[in-house]
Structure 1
Amino acid sequence: MKSFLPILFCFFIYFGCGNITNSEIALAEKSIKKLEVVIGDWKTKKNRKQLIEAIKESILEGLTPSDYSYSKLIAFEEKYNDLSELEIETYEKQLSASFIKYISHLSNGKIKPREIYTDWDIKKNKIDADSLLTYAIEKKEVEDVIKNCKPKHTIYSQLKTALIAISSMPKEDFKPIITSEKFNLGSKSKTVILIKKRLQYWNDLSKKDTLSEFYDESFGNAIKQFQQRHGLEADGVIGKGTIQALNVTQEQRRRQIIANLERWRWFPRDLGINHIVVNIPNFNLHAVQGKDTTKIFKVVVGTEKRRTPVLSSKIDNIVFNPTWTVPPTILKEDLIPGTIKNRKYITNRNITIYDKKGKEIPIGNWRSSLADDYKYVQSPGENNALGYVKINFPNNHSVYLHDTNHRELFVKNMRSLSSGCVRVENPLKLAEYLLYNKEGYDATKIDSIVFFKKTKTVKMEEEIDVHILYFTAWYEDGTMQFRNDIYNYDPELFLRLTNQFRSNLVTPVRVVNK
């Protein structure tokens, strides 16, 4: 049994994130026959039935049974007692191939994220498919092995519940609501009736509610609930953003859930006992101890043009009163053009210029022809772009968490406004939280450091993981939560998952401008 597995493992894990082709199967079969080995105990009906049933239910994971040769397996199984020895051998090879491919997809997703996104920096989850196949067959625990390969995150399990719920909803045939009006309490319009029907469909408004043209209190409460579920300002005012969310169809939301299930298969299985999670589309940071979220902070993330990367790392150090070295993109698009127009652009921002040797260059000697060769460093202080604190963690994208000198941005509901790094509201509170176990770094000490405006780096002693993730749908307290897909990741991912992707439909590669 074990002798054939390493070969089959090599072939099918390599091709594990795509469809297994006939030529690939034939190549594996040739290698197996060459070694004159026998594929072992798929002759146990329980093993075969458990695998076939699991593949059938892969649709509940947002996956496609046909990717794992479901129809072929059913056809073999239905005539199993009449199969020839050669046909049984072929069937068993297909069972092994389907098993390995399915657990690979459950463990790391069907799609390889780095083939789509250049700014996705999360390591693959480890999986020993060879050993798992051996164990599953010999112990007759195929079902349990497959179950254990699925993500254990609560959000993943709840998303599966949401997929069942949304798939069971009646098909809707709503036409898009087109209006330039705004509606609030006391408004009267035929459009209000259309909106009420939409809210009833999504269970935000009671089916018993009268479908009148009046915007009354119960309708206002339903709108606020709908707005909250979609990450909108829950003020009851129906404007452009609320209308756009109302016009998203049930099928589009179903696809969004499927795309998010795939992303959760990419994410780390173990987020760490103590960790922080930034959900980019939701513009917030959760600080987690054990299994409890202890603090939530608003954040500002990268624009569509300057996207915040998805990554996992560990916090290394915290810098109080940091300097800021202007990065290439901002240098090219902002600082150089601004300085060409007015030399005060640099001096007003308390920026010092250095040449390649580290020698300071007076603003009067600055030359636009040499602008790219200079280094531009902003001194610590209230107007520093990084504010009073920067939280560092190793990554390949030169991003970090930090304060900002534009704190007014946190008032906005949609906060995709930065150049890629993550700006945190109340970052000194976050720093205090992260350093809670480091003696002498309470709120008073931190305030004192900030007051004297001297740069100070504090090394972390407590191991705290940081995860910058991207999910636009989840299920919470029995309600579906959706967020705006600010980087337009969902549609392409769904097409790839369902084998419908064509490169002329959606840009296949995400290019990140630093």
Structure 2
Amino acid sequence: MNKLYFLIVICFFISCKKDEPKVIRVKKTPPPAIILTDERKVVVDTALINVFKSETLKQFYIASENKSVWGNLKKRTYVLSQLKKAEELGLNPEDYKATTLEKYEKRISSLNDKELATYDILLTYNFELYLTHLYKGKLDPKKLYTDWDLEEKTFDPNNTLIKAFNKNKLDSIVDNIQPKHQTYKELLKALEIINTYPEEEATDTIRSADKITLNDTNNALIDIKKKLLFWKDLTGKDSLTNKYDKKTFEAVKRFQERHGLAADGVIGAGTLSALNFTKEGRKQQIIANLERWRWYNNDFAENYFIINIPNYSLNVIENQDTTLIRNVVVGTSKRKTPIITSKLKTVVFNPTWTVPPTILKEDIIPEMKKNRNYLAKKRITIFDSAGREVDPKAWNEDKPNSYRYVQSPGYNNSLGLMKILFPNHHSVYLHDTNHRNYFGRNNRSLSSGCVRIENPLELAEHILNDTIATNWPKEKIDSIIETKKTINIRITKKYALYQWYWTAWSKKNQLIFRADIYNLDSDLYSKLRN
């Protein structure tokens, strides 16, 4: 009886051990099986695959039962031709071992099994890398910048490649994988256009101590005319003189317009700076902008605001139609406007303005130490940590960060009469301004990071007027403004916000450039090529 009892106890413990909960590991969905044809196939040694330290590559060859897949000449030829043409899309063919792969292809009939397997792996690895770079960029903006807040793009190169491989649609995969937005297409066209220009003669930097105006005589005009001829803003075979004639004047205005400068024909520092760019410099700028556009969303919302920071412009797009265009003021190079993808949430009429830390440190505190009445003139009230109002005379200049500084609503409030809020990690928003004369300037990199909008109340009326739910006529908005009371209005119509940065594109076969106000282009190009 004791033996029987002992056996029952042992069985009980064994059964309990078996019933212990197990950790469930969710496996990634494996890629579809690869349909192989009857060309020469060899076994791919996993040791060769492991050299690349790529889980994606392992999964690819699991889908082919560890057999080589690129036996078909037509498929190989397509991959090789695409990698060789990577330069046409702003990428470097040697990032994808184009020359090495060509050497393998020339010896294809004499490759032993191990060499053929190596060639197969190299084709797969580099073509998937190429597709990934075309879809989401070669570099990760989050690793480059602290003020770029974009939605992360995910990409499964195995599924994309295997589906095209099995359906014999490799010839469309490169086109399908790239961004579809018109600006990206205009950048590809810009790269095509600039490649048609001849190699440029080396010239010294063009300088002029004074601005050059119509009918002036200036020795710099000879090199200026050479540049205008090279970029095709000036045509003909006129002799190169130092006289600023009418024909050159019109060419300068064309050049200025293409570069976002005041098209007044006056040759000043901005125009000379743009003229001093070389063909190679402009080509690198285009390539840097192609990379940026691969970071941005592939799928755009039905309705959205798109801001091009270097172009100082905001476009409202609704159902693929541009319904409003506004000039904007953006952050300075020291207080940059962050790059953001978000959604518009709220319009705030008669906003108060709480002084942010940077402005407090760099502007407010130094002025307060000079003059305690400084804040009163700007209608800014000081509050302590308990929310009590503090007399400027009692302000403790040794503990300036222990206070909150709030400007009352009104026409001269730093945010103007309204602001538009959207979720972001940078405490920025779109808003009116008390410096409304700034919109007439050509260089509008003047703010502390937020984007200021020209004629913002008209914009508010436009986006709040949802014909189904609400009606916001101008008179209604004006009556709210008159109260000088802060009112928050939820935006019922869905608008995405794309607050982005690009300095090059093309229009009607013309190259368009903007000043790289945050000095990002050359550094990005350098990182792309390293």
Mark yes or no: TM-score above 0.5. Answer: yes
- 1:310-349 alignment to 2 at 5 Å? 310-349=339-378
Amino acid at match of 1:25: F
What secondary structure is seen at the aligned counterpart in 2 of 1:332? helix
Which residue is equivalent to 2:92?
A: 64
1:59 and 1:273 map into 2 onto residues whose CA distance is 33
- 1:3, CA displacement in angstroms? 9.9
Amino acid at match of 1:165: I
1:114 and 1:431 map into 2 onto residues whose CA distance is 32
Answer whether contact 2:332 2:447 (CA < 8 A) is retained.
yes
Amino acid at match of 1:458: I
Which residue is equivalent to 1:97?
A: 125
Which residue is equivalent to 2:77?
A: 49
2:422 pairs with one of 393, 417, 420: 393
2:171 pairs with one of 132, 143, 161: 143
2:339 and 2:328 map into 1 onto residues whose CA distance is 15
- 1:56, CA displacement in angstroms? 1.1
Which residue is equivalent to 1:195?
A: 224
2:226 and 2:183 map into 1 onto residues whose CA distance is 29
1:25 aligns with 2:77: no
Answer whether contact 1:41 1:137 (CA < 8 A) is retained.
no
1:472 pairs with one of 488, 494, 503: 503
1:160 aligns with 2:191: no
1:116 pairs with one of 111, 130, 144: 144
- 1:191, CA displacement in angstroms? 2.4
- 1:373, CA displacement in angstroms? 0.9
- 1:397, CA displacement in angstroms? 0.7
Change (3 A) 1:345 1:158: same
Which residue is equivalent to 2:212?
A: 183
What secondary structure is seen at the aligned counterpart in 1 of 2:398? helix
Answer whether contact 1:231 1:483 (CA < 8 A) is retained.
yes
Name structure 2 gaps, 5 residues minimum: 1-27, 33-47
1:174 and 1:417 map into 2 onto residues whose CA distance is 33
Which residue is equivalent to 2:494?
A: 463
- 1:31, CA displacement in angstroms? 8.8
2:68 and 2:303 map into 1 onto residues whose CA distance is 43
Which residue is equivalent to 1:442?
A: 473
- 1:36, CA displacement in angstroms? 9.9
Answer whether contact 2:49 2:58 (CA < 8 A) is retained.
no
What secondary structure is seen at the aligned counterpart in 1 of 2:52? helix
Q: Deviations over 1:200-225 (max 9, x none)?
A: 11000113444333322222111111
Answer whether contact 1:42 1:137 (CA < 8 A) is retained.
no
1:257 and 1:35 map into 2 onto residues whose CA distance is 38
Which residue is equivalent to 1:380?
A: 409
Change (3 A) 1:218 1:81: same
What secondary structure is seen at the aligned counterpart in 2 of 1:372? helix
1:327 and 1:40 map into 2 onto residues whose CA distance is 60
1:484 and 1:31 map into 2 onto residues whose CA distance is 45
1:244 pairs with one of 273, 276, 281: 273
RMSD over aligned Cα atoms: 2.4
What secondary structure is seen at the aligned counterpart in 2 of 1:25? coil
What secondary structure is seen at the aligned counterpart in 1 of 2:233? coil
What secondary structure is seen at the aligned counterpart in 2 of 1:331? helix
Q: Deviations over 1:40-77 (max 9, x none)?
A: 53222222111111111111111011111212221222
Q: Deviations over 1:20-55 (max 9, x none)?
A: x99751676889899993245322222211111111
What secondary structure is seen at the aligned counterpart in 1 of 2:399? helix
Q: Deviations over 1:268-312 (max 9, x none)?
A: 112212111111111111111232322211111111111101011
- 1:226, CA displacement in angstroms? 0.6
- 1:364, CA displacement in angstroms? 2.8
Answer whether contact 2:31 2:63 (CA < 8 A) is retained.
no
Q: 340-349 or 351-360: which moved more?
A: 351-360
2:391 pairs with one of 344, 362, 369: 362
Change (3 A) 1:36 1:187: closer
2:509 and 2:143 map into 1 onto residues whose CA distance is 35
Which residue is equivalent to 1:13?
A: none
What secondary structure is seen at the aligned counterpart in 2 of 1:377? strand
Q: Deviations over 1:387-424 (max 9, x none)?
A: 00101110111111000111121121101111100011
1:216 aligns with 2:245: yes
Q: Deviations over 1:143-181 (max 9, x none)?
A: 312221111111111211211221221121222112112
1:303 aligns with 2:303: no
1:39 and 1:384 map into 2 onto residues whose CA distance is 70
Change (3 A) 1:32 1:217: closer
1:490 aligns with 2:501: no
Q: Deviations over 1:246-267 (max 9, x none)?
A: 1111111111011011111111
What secondary structure is seen at the aligned counterpart in 2 of 1:369? coil
Answer whether contact 1:96 1:133 (CA < 8 A) is retained.
no
1:77 aligns with 2:108: no
Answer whether contact 1:39 1:93 (CA < 8 A) is retained.
no
Change (3 A) 1:413 1:226: same
TM-score (norm: length of structure 1): 0.90
Amino acid at match of 2:154: K
Q: 414-423 or 206-215: which moved more?
A: 206-215
Answer whether contact 2:417 2:432 (CA < 8 A) is retained.
yes
Change (3 A) 1:348 1:471: same
1:131 aligns with 2:134: no
Name structure 1 gaps, 5 residues minimum: 7-20, 500-514
1:398 and 1:408 map into 2 onto residues whose CA distance is 25
Answer whether contact 2:61 2:67 (CA < 8 A) is retained.
no
2:314 and 2:266 map into 1 onto residues whose CA distance is 27
2:482 pairs with one of 446, 451, 462: 451
- 1:356, CA displacement in angstroms? 1.6
TM-score (norm: length of structure 2): 0.87
Amino acid at match of 1:51: V
